[in-house]
């Protein structure tokens, strides 16, 4: 295995793991549900994408590449769909404060 | 390289475990669902890392299934959230119509 490939893998997987950490911190620290959803979907999809990108040079068979990329594409599709569904279900009705933590006007 | 991939999988699992604190804190069910969602994606990433580290190609299929199930869990949650009255009345009707059914309530007495 070539060192350049290994270097790429280490860099991309490390960056992906960092995004997972960022998503977890956002989930724990952000003030309300919609911002937490934002942190989670962004960081998750980018983190998983970087992990998949980093793993590609380590897999030798084309079928393995297709499998890895298929997992990421399905995760992207699912994340986008679920994000829209949840945000639509959670958005407050008209006339209420914009954020859940705000005191009622 | 194997050691690095295993360490990365352990790191991702650790961050996901940290995120599970949100399930304890809540406050709403949607927040808890978000933590479960993070568990789904983080579990997929850890599975992929483990699969490449151990040269086990079938693990990618497991990751695919886990992705699908995590999405279905969220869709099921939103469906119940959008129609809370319908879900509640369905559960009530099922309990009233058939109280002796060996289901939710009857299972504990056996």
| B1-31 per-position pLDDT tens digit | 888 889 999 999 999 999 888 888 878 888 8
Confidence bin at A33 (pLDDT 50/70/90): confident
Checking if the pLDDT of B39 tops 50, the result is yes
Task: Please count the residue pairs, one from chain A and one from chain B, whose beta carbons lie less than 8 angstroms apart.
Answer: 129
What is each CA distance from B20 to A32, A35, A96, in whole angstroms? 16, 17, 30
- For residue B106, what pLDDT is reported? 41
Checking if the pLDDT of A102 tops 80, the result is no
A74, A49 contact by CB (below 8 A): no
A51, B45 contact by CB (below 8 A): yes
- CB contacts, 8 Å: A40 with chain B: 34, 37-38
Checking if the pLDDT of A62 tops 80, the result is yes
Q: Whole-number mean pLDDT of chain A?
A: 83
From A13, A32, A47, select the one nearest B52 (Cα to Cα): A13
Q: Quick one: average pLDDT of A55-78?
A: 89
Answer yes or no: do A82 and B71 touch at CB < 8 A. Answer: yes
Q: Does A19 contact chain B (CB < 8 Å)?
A: no
CA A13 to chain centre: 14
Q: Where in chain B are the domains?
A: 2-97
State ipTM.
Answer: 0.80
Model pLDDT for residues A71-95, shown as the tens digit of each residue = 999 999 988 888 888 888 777 665 5
Q: Whole-number mean pLDDT of chain B?
A: 80
Q: Quick one: average pLDDT of B94-100?
A: 64
Answer yes or no: do B19 and A6 touch at CB < 8 A. Answer: no
Answer yes or no: do B48 and A55 touch at CB < 8 A. Answer: yes
| pTM for the predicted model, two decimal places | 0.76
Put residue A79 in one of left, alpha, beta given phi > 0 → left and psi -120 to 50 → alpha.
alpha
A59, A42 contact by CB (below 8 A): no
CA A33 to chain centre: 16
Q: Which residue in B17, B34, B65 has the most chain A C-beta atoms within 10 A of its own C-beta, making it the best mutation to test that interface?
A: B34
Chain B residues bordering chain A (beta-carbon distance below 8 Å)? 1, 4-5, 8, 11-12, 15-16, 18-19, 21-22, 28, 30-31, 33-35, 37-38, 41-42, 44-45, 48-49, 52, 57, 60-61, 63-64, 67-68, 70-71, 74-75, 77-78, 81-82
Residues comprising chain A, all counted: 105
- For residue B45, what pLDDT is reported? 92
Checking if the pLDDT of B98 tops 70, the result is no
């Amino acid at each position: 295995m070539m060192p350049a490939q290994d270097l790429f893998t280490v860099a991309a997987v490390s960056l992906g793991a960092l995004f997972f950490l960022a998503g977890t911190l956002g989930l724990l620290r952000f003030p309300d549900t919609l911002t937490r959803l934002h942190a989670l979907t962004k960081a998750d999809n980018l983190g998983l994408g970087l992990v998949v990108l980093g793993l590609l040079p380590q897999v030798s068979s084309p079928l393995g590449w297709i499998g890895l990329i298929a997992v990421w594409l399905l995760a992207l599709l699912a994340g986008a769909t679920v994000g829209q569904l949840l945000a639509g279900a959670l958005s407050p009705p008209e006339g209420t404060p914009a954020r859940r933590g705000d005191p009622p006007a | 390289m194997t050691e690095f991939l295993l360490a990365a999988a352990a790191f991702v699992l650790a961050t996901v475990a940290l995120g599970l604190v949100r399930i304890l804190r809540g406050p709403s069910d949607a927040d808890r669902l978000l933590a479960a969602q993070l568990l789904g994606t983080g579990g997929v990433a850890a599975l992929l890392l483990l699969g490449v580290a151990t040269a086990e190609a079938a693990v990618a299929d497991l990751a695919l299934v886990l992705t699908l199930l995590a999405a279905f869990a969220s869709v099921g949650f939103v469906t119940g959230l959008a129609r809370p009255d319908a879900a509640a009345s369905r559960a009530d009707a099922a309990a009233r119509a058939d109280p002796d059914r060996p289901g939710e309530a009857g299972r504990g007495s056996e």
